[in-house]
């Protein structure tokens, strides 16, 4: 099976992560969960309660990573999925992850980002001249790094597909799976 990286860390959003975790194998893609270290990570759930201006965070499930960022060889993977939640706020400082992300973007492999995942692409220098979407409060992470933010459910720009939040997972994964299949077909 073709392998796809799933980027997580503590405070990764449950639905941003578990939807691709279960969806990708349905089309014969092996999901390899990557984190700063090989360990059990704590996911969180985000919900905006009525009357609140911001999301409330509560504890979610746990997920074991398979590989540490420093041990990733980008040539072993055909795509990368960057989950959201609060994890990207600190993951964007991991130089090994930034190197992997930039390499895969430069190699034109399919890259998917949801919600705060855009922060990793911004820190890796992958958004200049790109059009992308994210949760509205992270729009500055696109525009400050030379990209064009649009408030749409799912946005495709070459090998990058982005979505705002977990409610956009269906269209995000539909397009990401299509891109992965096309990449796999073209690259044997």
Exactly one of 42, 46, 62, 116 is catalytic; which is it?
A: 116
Tokens of 1: 């099976």
β 2-7/131-132 pair status: unpaired
Helical ranges in the chain per DSSP H: 14-23, 88-91, 95-106, 118-123, 139-143, 169-186
**What string of DSSP letters covers 70-84?**
GG--GGG-SEEEE--
Q: Which element (helix H / strand E) includes 111?
A: strand 111-114
User: Count of CB atoms within 10 A of residue 159's CB?
Assistant: 18
Maximal C-alpha separation, the chain: 51
Residue 42 falls in the annotated catalytic set? no
Catalytic positions are: 116
């Amino acid at each position: 099976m073709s392998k796809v990286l799933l980027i997580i860390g503590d405070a990764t959003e449950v639905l941003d992560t578990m939807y691709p975790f279960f969806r990708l194998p349905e089309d014969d893609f092996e999901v390899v969960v990557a984190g700063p270290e090989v360990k059990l990570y704590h996911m969180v759930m985000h919900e905006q309660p009525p009357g609140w201006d911001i999301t409330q965070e509560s504890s979610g499930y746990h997920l074991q990573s398979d590989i540490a960022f420093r041990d990733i060889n980008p040539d072993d993977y055909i795509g990368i999925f960057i989950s959201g939640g609060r994890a990207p706020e600190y993951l964007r400082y991991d130089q090994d992850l930034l190197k992997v992300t930039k390499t895969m973007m430069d190699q034109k492999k399919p890259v998917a980002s949801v919600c705060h995942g855009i922060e990793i692409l911004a820190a890796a220098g992958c958004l200049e001249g790109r059009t992308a979407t994210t949760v509205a409060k992270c729009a500055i992470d696109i525009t400050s790094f030379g990209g064009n933010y649009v408030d749409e459910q799912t946005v495709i720009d070459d090998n990058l597909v982005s979505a705002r939040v977990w409610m956009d997972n269906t269209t995000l994964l539909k397009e990401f799976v299509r891109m992965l299949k096309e990449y796999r077909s073209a690259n044997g």
